[in-house]
Amino acid sequence: MAFLKETDYEVQLRSEIASLIDTTSEKTKLKTAEDMAISQIKNYLGGRYDLSKIFVDAPADGETDTRDAWIITITIDMALYHIWSKEGGNRIPQTRSDRYADALDWLRAVQKGAATNLPVITDDNEQPVYDVRIKSKHQPENNRY
């Protein structure tokens, strides 16, 4: 199974985009673009959020969908951007570029701790495990003479 299914694209997929992925080889490229998008998202969310709960298999017809709608949306946005980018930078529609940039902005904000409803990593007692990072703007002194 996979995280995304064809019906997930129905909200965004228009005929001009469908023409990019109408052949079997293009569908393979779409799957590769999806994998790239998921990997990109995991790189931003890993360490703080439980990726095994976020990237679950798409449900079969009639089953309850437990996937996060926003994660589905940004995964599609990023995958379609990657598909368009093979056409060349000048041919990418502005909407695709904007949606890709919005997805990256959201991921950066979440990575920095912005509020979200995504499941955090928990320990054996179901208590959140926080990634503690201590930073300082203080520059170390240089005592070289």
Which SS3 state, helix, strand or coil, does residue 91 take? Answer: helix
Which residues lie closer than 8 Å to 1 by C-beta, 6 or more apart? 57, 58
Taking CA atoms, 137 is separated from 129, 131, 132, 133, in Å, by: 26, 19, 17, 13
Entry pTM: 0.79
Tell me how far apart the alpha carbons of residues 58 and 124 are, in angstroms, rounded to a whole number.
Answer: 26
Taking CA atoms, 120 is separated from 3, 42, 57, 113, 117, in Å, by: 19, 13, 19, 11, 9
Q: What is the mean pLDDT of the chain?
A: 84
* 15 pLDDT more than 90: no
Give me the residue spans of the domains in the chain.
Answer: 6-111
Which residues lie closer than 8 Å to 110 by C-beta, 6 or more apart? 44, 45, 49, 116, 118
Taking CA atoms, 42 is separated from 52, 59, 104, 134, in Å, by: 10, 20, 12, 23
Per-residue pLDDT reduced to its tens digit, 49-108: 999 999 999 999 889 999 999 999 999 999 989 888 876 767 788 888 999 999 999 999
Position 123 scores a pLDDT of 86
**pLDDT band at residue 22 using 50, 70 and 90 as cut-offs:** low
Burial category of 117 from C-beta neighbours within 10 Å (exposed 0-12, middle 13-18, buried 19 and up): exposed
Task: Write out the H or E segment, with its range, that includes residue 121.
Answer: none
78 in Cβ contact with 37 (< 8 Å) = yes
48 in Cβ contact with 120 (< 8 Å) = yes
